[in-house]
């Protein structure tokens, strides 16, 4: 009888993960790189269709990942103090889900084995957002839909 090995994300807490394990949790959806606004009355977070100027909106990869906090002072690096940033992360985010005691969804690359599954299922910013390079801050629309177009 063959026993299945339990994946690291099912047995380790976020605090116990190595840096490589931590980095592999990111599904490369790009949603955390969208401009967001907090409703002052309800506290709800609203996403815009405008991405950080350093996000490639097709690949959903940061163009300056290693230096992102040096070139973009608004960029938040997720660390072991992740609870501070949870409300700003999409509900589909692996860091948020694991922190909340939830499982990774079937489409997550660590579960599906398919790095493009997040895009195929429409749960990413791929080709749905425009780079902040092309939008004046006063023209940002907060009616962005995270559903597939």
Residue 9 forms part of a structural domain: no
Residue 147 forms part of a structural domain: no
Residue 81 forms part of a structural domain: yes
Rounded distance between C-alpha atoms, residue 125 and residue 84, angstroms: 23
Rounded distance between C-alpha atoms, residue 106 and residue 113, angstroms: 10
Each residue's pLDDT tens digit, 11-42: 999 999 999 999 999 999 999 999 888 888 98
Residue 143 forms part of a structural domain: no
Residue 140 forms part of a structural domain: no
Rounded distance between C-alpha atoms, residue 102 and residue 66, angstroms: 29
Q: Which of 24, 32, 51 is nearest to 108 (CA)?
A: 24
Rounded distance between C-alpha atoms, residue 76 and residue 80, angstroms: 12
Counting DSSP H helices and E strands in the chain, the numbers are: 6, 5
Tokens 């991405």 belong to which residue? 51
At residue 78, φ and ψ (nearest 5 deg) are -75, 125
Residue 91 forms part of a structural domain: yes
Rounded distance between C-alpha atoms, residue 125 and residue 34, angstroms: 8
What number of residues does the chain have? Answer: 149
Note down the domain range covering 108. Answer: 14-135
pLDDT in tens, the chain (149 residues): 556 688 999 999 999 999 999 999 999 999 999 988 888 898 888 888 899 999 999 999 999 998 998 988 888 888 777 777 788 899 999 999 999 999 999 999 999 999 999 999 999 999 888 888 877 666 666 555 554 44
Residue 120 forms part of a structural domain: yes
Domain tally for the chain? 1
Strands 45-51 and 130-131: parallel
């Amino acid at each position: 009888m063959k026993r299945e090995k339990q994946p690291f994300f099912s047995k380790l807490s976020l605090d116990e993960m190595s840096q490589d394990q931590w980095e592999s949790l990111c599904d490369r959806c790009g949603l955390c790189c969208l401009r967001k606004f907090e409703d002052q009355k309800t506290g709800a977070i609203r996403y815009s269709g405008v991405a950080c100027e350093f996000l490639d909106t097709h690949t959903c990869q940061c163009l300056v990942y290693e230096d992102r906090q040096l070139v973009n002072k608004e960029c938040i690096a997720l660390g072991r103090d992740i609870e501070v940033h949870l409300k700003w992360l999409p509900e589909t985010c692996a860091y948020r889900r694991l922190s909340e005691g939830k499982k990774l969804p079937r489409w997550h690359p660590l579960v599906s084995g398919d790095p493009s599954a997040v895009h195929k299922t429409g749960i990413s910013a791929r080709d749905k957002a425009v780079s902040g390079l092309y939008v004046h801050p006063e023209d940002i629309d907060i009616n962005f839909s995270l559903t597939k177009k």
